[in-house]
Amino acid sequence: MPRACARVAARPRSRCSGARSTSQCAIAARIPATTTRSRTSRWVRVWQGRFREAEAGFRTMLDRLHGVPAGSEISPLFSQHGLAAALWGQGRHAEAFEAAALAESTRQQAVREVAAGLSDEQALAFQEQDYATLDHALAIALDSGDAHLLERAWALAIGARGQVTAMQAERLARARAGDEPSLQPLWLEWQRASSALDRAQLQAGEPEHAQARARLDRAERRLAQAVPQARALARGDADLAAVRAALPADSALVWLHDLQHVKPTDFANAAVDLDDPDSWAFVLQAGHGAVTAIRLGPAGAIASAFADWQATLATPTSTLDLVRSRGATLAALAWAPIARAVPARRLFVVAEGPLLRMPWPALPDRDGYLVERDRQFHVLNHEHELLAATSTRAMRHALLAVADPRGGSDAASTLRDCTDPSALPPLPGARREVERLASLFGAAQDATMLALVGEAASEARFRSEAPHSALLHLATHGIEAGSGCAVGGTRGLSLRADEAPSKAAAASTALLFAAPATSAGDSADDGLLGSLEIAALDLSGVQWAVLAACSTAAGSTHAYEGLYGLARAFRLAGARTVLLSLWPVDDDATAQWSEALYAARLRASMDTPAAMQHAQRAVLAARRAAKQSEHPWYWAGFFAIGDWR
């Protein structure tokens, strides 16, 4: 059972008040009162340090629950987790780890069983119930000092990562394939509902948004129930040896994780959730050797230092002294301990929370920046991306480039508080950018390019051509919730949001395309392409999706699932690697960065992290040579996530 529901059962309030969705509330309401009372006594014994008594009680309950499915209303999960805590409290680490591993496997199975029939949002809420089985397995492994247990704990984390995304991707792929007539009406309704929600996020108020969300939830549940195979996408415990073998020479895999539950008495203890967790870096180096565990320190201090530095990075008028000072503070906390322990030249990073958006190359290093040293960084959604086969699929276009579309009157009127099309600044740098890319691709053999510029860059044309392109380059405006209508010289458009700032920051970004003067309400060609509309496309042949617009990395981050917004949308559509912007990027500097990026890719056949480093170095060097500001805002605004090749 979800720990959140178990906790509220012991408190004088509604059992459903702690549930995050109606499905969880219903499950919580069906827990027999006798089971809840006996369970409460067992976890209290753990808190009291009466570990042997707690062990006996949990074993008795597990005997009663033998054979009960993981996703049932009376799951063995709680008792498995409690047994792990009781054994850990007695110093029986090996047995405790086995119990914790079983509990985490049960939790993952419950997600697959229950979430397979829920909408994407409901499945996410179900998975994010506060049940710290993975943390306990990891903490037990650390406490034991057993390198083998630590490796197994990481394998459990790999199994947990991306389950909801994998299920959603399977549903969408099955539906868009069009091979099953029974799915077609469900798929059509999903597309209509998703477009309506994308539109409501930019156009409508809270009531309309809630109605659009409810409609999409209904459509997704119907589609989910028609694709039951999604629950069979279990990867289970991954073989970390296979991941190690897939690492290129002179590279390392770094998993950043905040560990909240670190001792036996943290079991089912809500007070622990208020404590500041510790941030850890777990490192797997290419070749051989055990997993290295590096304690970085309090997560709150790291997050605060990152937020301070991020604020200066996103503000080109901030002084370089302030940028470097704040960056040095963060580097001392989050990078220096890793750098001392990991000599590898290339680091693949699996991160959670705010550090997922960390622009590592912009960290100060001596009198320069980390980008100038012999270190390369690449962010992975999942460790399995190291194992992905190289794509050999032939595509109609080597590159589909979109540049400087001007949203027609219909597109502009869609935007809250932004009804004047002239408020959208032109992007001359984007046009020059595509002209230079055309020269690059024209000089390359077997590299055909299709450029959609200005009024030709319609949403309908993009929808038609993108599935047949190996590389996508979108040099347009990114639209997100914010405080103004437009910012000149950048590829961004902010919308005045009625929501609180925290909600606005988590809102998905949409991409602007050219739109007809009127679209007769056709959201498929209204000039605004939102995350859900992107997810409906078949981009399984796309190697790179370069979102050269403003703040395309906007979106919430979620435990186990990573970054949402446009990043997840392109991932659901099948794109292997997405290149995203961290802030409102400069039009001219982005054009320069893009040219250097593709030159590295085409002329030198560089992989993604090498091409990214080359492009950032090129812009930085050019600005220094021209005696222009070397503020990282100009050259460090992009990062890549996904397949590294």
User: What is the tens place of the pLDDT at every residue in 557-599?
Assistant: 999 999 999 999 999 999 999 999 999 999 999 999 999 999 9
pLDDT tier at 273 (50, 70, 90 boundaries)?
confident
Mean pLDDT of the chain: 87
CA distances in angstroms from 35 to 3, 44, 70, 174, 609, listed in the order given: 14, 14, 16, 41, 53
Q: Which residues contact 310 (CB under 8 A, 6 or more apart)?
A: 357, 582
Least confident of 19-23, 332-336, 374-378, 400-404: 19-23
Q: What is the pLDDT of residues 336-393, one digit of tens each?
A: 999 999 999 999 999 999 999 999 999 999 999 999 999 999 999 999 999 998 888 8
Share of the chain above pLDDT 90, in %: 73
Residue type, 71: G
pTM to 2 decimal places: 0.90
What is the pLDDT at residue 541? 97
> Among candidates 362, 440, 394, which has minimal Cα distance to 601?
440
Is the pLDDT score of 504 beyond 50?
Answer: no
What is the pLDDT at residue 227? 86
Q: What is the pLDDT of residues 170-196, one digit of tens each?
A: 999 999 999 999 999 999 999 999 999
Count of beta carbons in the 10 Å neighbourhood of residue 292: 17
Q: Which residue has the higher pLDDT, 348 or 229?
A: 348
Q: CA-to-CA distance for 52 and 387, rounded, in angstroms?
A: 43
Is the pLDDT score of 5 beyond 70?
Answer: no
Domains of the chain: which residue ranges? 3-165, 240-384, 390-587
- 544-547 and 469-475 beta bridge pairing: parallel
Q: CA-to-CA distance for 419 and 396, rounded, in angstroms?
A: 37
Residue range 3-165 forms a domain whose CATH class is mainly alpha
- Ramachandran quadrant class, 250 (left: phi over 0; alpha: psi -120 to 50; beta: rest): left
pLDDT tier at 230 (50, 70, 90 boundaries)?
low
